[in-house]
Structure 1
């Protein structure tokens, strides 16, 4: 007789292996987050920041006073808004080179209205091919070539620079004063000529410096040192070595705003509450004035609204109107 074996329990069915999801390339934000998590903690910073530094250039011995052109600007702006011509006939003799500021390559519509307005007035306009997150020396080289190219074809140039672009316009003439012969006028729009409070704090606070050292190359393919170049320390050193040459017809737009309607309100509030600075959110009004230049001072314009069209009801100015009036002032300057 065959002995029967006891029934053995059946083994559990194998667990199905899930099909792996397709591998996706990690986003720039994810890569940045992983990079920052892998770093040792930044040094805790309780420094004074840029307290007392705004307006250092005006307080310097021998600093040339700026001429207040605000009343003339407002009269021109009113005419521009009514559709009246304000540019002289001689304006068409020049080429207009517009220079973008920091992150200008990343912002849709940046300087678009400014360029279109000048083109609508029959002017020859070109945008300089600067790297808006690059080093000043490299961008100065680009502007130098643009000026030499215009000279080769017998054209004089009006330089119009917004923010960092305005700093690079003035730096080009400071480093290459012989090119003064090519330049009819310079217009700086909210340029941190004396330095940027925000850039200074970003560059000198260890926690913030760690962020820009990783964010700039990773997100914008830029150079974090380009932020440091706009700090007060760097601007003091540059201006003392390379002062802006005399005799260049120059007008500067210096602005501030403190309004919850502003897209830059948190930065405006930060500079106001921490330092007592009147700023446009990126640059204090004092630091946007080029010594010896004509200056337009407005207290209801933030840093974005001179180069980007604001949403209806949030801004009081149109970038094209501002640019047309500022160029008219510059061409009238001697």
Structure 2
């Protein structure tokens, strides 16, 4: 063996011995660290429980005393003697691991209990939220219907039903008193753009009497403030074009739009508008719109998405058109915008019949053209063919109104025309008209497929309302 090989072997043995010493030192240091941590916890436990070890600090009579606690420090040293320290270390060395596991188990139990409490609080909050939504859904609009009558400071209403019936009977007997010194503007309501016959028969009825009558061409699915601005422009155009004041008759949301135009732009319209008649208008709001769009109830987000799809995407409207008819929006608007006192206002509301026979009632809302029908050679035959091509569109609108009226009566105990309750249609400070016959919300603008000749139709009722409005205006001027 060469000297180089011998040197290499000695060097390797030296390296292994040093690694072994280093490993032993690290092991002893780690064990000492664990023991010190455990001794510190045990010393704190002894300090809290004030345990006194035997043989530590005795006076002349043999009584154990604890003077300045010299045997307890951060490492549980007892009376500064290595023998006592070794004894304590020997005693508690076997307790380190069990007490360590006990501490881990205790902390795990505490954290588990804390997580359980947090989870229970979350479940309790979620249960309260669900209960609140259920109660709000069941409560519905019970606290909002008729809020105008309960609000202090609102002007009282006057019952004009008797005078209305007198004027209606006179009109049916041929006494037409509407003067041609006014321009009559009919304002349609929500979704009127999708019913081509909306107010058409009434306009034709007034035109045959030689009266200037117009149907406001507004976007029925727009917001109330937007339509108020459109009506303001429309009224000024009619006034400056004819030199006559304008009488307004609004049905459903059209009455709300017209009232908003007078409330917001009264300074510009006070000398141009002679009066306003609101026919079945939700001036105070409607429970149908509120129940659909109320926040905080069950499935409120899903319901709103469906309505946004139907109104905004399908018919290209504005969701605010329906939002503005809720009780919350109407309260805010009426609080900020008051109707003028010196303009005659009439508000008409009706009650829909919920009899079983009404469920089968159909309404005529439009005409459908059928261009594929054959033509004939003569002019009379061609006219007859053109007339034959107009097929009436019949929709069970009255049946839907009857079902809605039954729903409002059973849920809230309120009389309504199917969409608007009677109390919400009464405008403060107006003359209220309550017809004797029952008809639904769509009857005033869409003729029924089956007519009763002994009863007045919607055109005659509109004429009676406007005639009564002219009389009120004359009284105010006098």
Q: TM-score range by the shorter chain?
A: 0.7 to 0.9
**Shift of residue 317, structure 1, vs aligned partner:** 4.5
Query: Would you identify which runs of 4 or more consecutive aligned residues in structure 1 move more than 4 Å?
Result: 313-317
Task: Please state if 1:324 is matched with 2:463.
Answer: yes
Q: Which residue of 1 aligns with 2:16?
A: none
**Shift of residue 283, structure 1, vs aligned partner:** 0.3
Give yes or no for contact 1:128–1:142 (8 Å, CA) kept in 2: no
In structure 2, how many angstroms separate the alpha carbons of the residues matched to 1:317 and 1:132? 27
**Shift of residue 200, structure 1, vs aligned partner:** 1.1
Higher normalized contact order (CA 8 Å, seq sep 6+, divided by chain length): 1
Task: Please state if 1:189 is matched with 2:279.
Answer: yes
**Shift of residue 115, structure 1, vs aligned partner:** 1.2
TM-score by length of 2: 0.58
**Which structure 1 segments of 5+ residues have no match?**
1-42
Please give the secondary structure, in 1, of the residue aligned with 2:347.
Answer: strand
Greater gyration radius: 2
TM-score by length of 1: 0.82
For 1:93-129, what per-residue CA distance to the aligned partner results, in whole angstroms no more than 9, with x for missing partners? 1111111100111113111122122212211111112
Please give the secondary structure, in 2, of the residue aligned with 1:282.
Answer: coil
Task: Please state if 1:155 is matched with 2:244.
Answer: yes
Give yes or no for contact 1:278–1:284 (8 Å, CA) kept in 2: yes
Give yes or no for contact 1:257–1:300 (8 Å, CA) kept in 2: yes
1:92 and 1:173, CA in 2 relative to 1: closer, same or farther beyond 3 A?
same
In structure 2, how many angstroms separate the alpha carbons of the residues matched to 1:65 and 1:323? 24
CA-atom RMSD in angstroms = 1.9
Which range is displaced more, 73-82 or 229-238? 73-82
Q: Which residue of 2 aligns with 1:302?
A: 440
Q: Which residue of 2 aligns with 1:50?
A: 141
1:318 and 1:219, CA in 2 relative to 1: closer, same or farther beyond 3 A?
farther
In structure 2, how many angstroms separate the alpha carbons of the residues matched to 1:314 and 1:324? 19
Task: Please state if 1:234 is matched with 2:329.
Answer: yes
For 1:13-57, what per-residue CA distance to the aligned partner results, in whole angstroms no more than 9, with x for missing partners? xxxxxxxxxxxxxxxxxxxxxxxxxxxxxx995322111311111
Q: Which residue of 2 aligns with 1:75?
A: 166
Q: Pick the structure with more helix per residue.
A: 2
* 1:1-334 matches, cutoff 5 A: 46=134, 47=137, 48-87=139-178, 91-153=179-241, 154-178=243-267, 179-204=269-294, 206=300, 207-260=302-355, 261=358, 262-263=398-399, 264-298=401-435, 300-313=438-451, 317-333=456-472, 334=476
Which range is displaced more, 46-55 or 224-233? 46-55
